[in-house]
Amino acid sequence: MSQFKTHLLAEDPVVVLIGHDTFFRSQIEKMLKQQGLSVFLMSSDRISREDKPLKIPEDAYKIIWLYEFNKDNSKNYLNILKHLEKIKVPTTIISSLTSKLMTNLDDSNKNLFEKWKERSEKQTQFIVDCNYYLPKANFIFGQNLIFSN
């Protein structure tokens, strides 16, 4: 009896997962592996310092970059974007959004406001830069909400 089997274009599709060695990255890796995908891990730090063209597996069909504002040096993300721009593999960027400040601020909270404002400006620049270098990339944003009475 004959049997019909379908195969993916690549027998073992590979997802390139870029990020720091954090709990979040390990959970994304675990989820991808549960879906039957091979995962090729790359360090954000290593890529941001690399001068040579980025080498990824030939059978990579997607790149996922986890950009964590608390872990990533905001000055180095441009180097990563420049590397990713040269690779013709669909890219998804996962990052967090800074929450709206849901509290009444007075002079005692001025330092909190300044830090929030600085982070919001960096976040905005990050999104603008990502759209410039990777206009076809997909974005996934998470947000923590901060409330105060």
pLDDT digits 0-9 by tens, 8-40: 555 678 999 999 888 889 999 999 999 989 999
pLDDT digits 0-9 by tens, 89-135: 999 999 887 766 655 666 667 787 788 788 888 888 999 999 999 99
**Is residue 1 pLDDT above 80, yes or no?**
no
**Is residue 62 pLDDT above 60, yes or no?**
yes
CA distance 11 to 129: 34
Contact yes or no for 127/76 (Cβ under 8 A): no
Q: 140 or 119: which carries more pLDDT confidence?
A: 140
In this prediction, residue 81 carries a pLDDT of 93
Residues 51-79 as b or e (16 or more Cβ within 10 Å = b): eeebebeeebebbbbbbeeeebeeeebeb
**CA neighbor of 50 nearest in space, from 78, 29, 22, 25:** 78
Give the pLDDT band of residue 6 (cuts 50, 70, 90).
low
Q: Which residue bears the tokens 């040096």?
A: 73
**Is residue 149 pLDDT above 50, yes or no?**
no
pLDDT digits 0-9 by tens, 67-93: 987 665 556 889 999 999 999 899 999
**Is residue 5 pLDDT above 60, yes or no?**
no
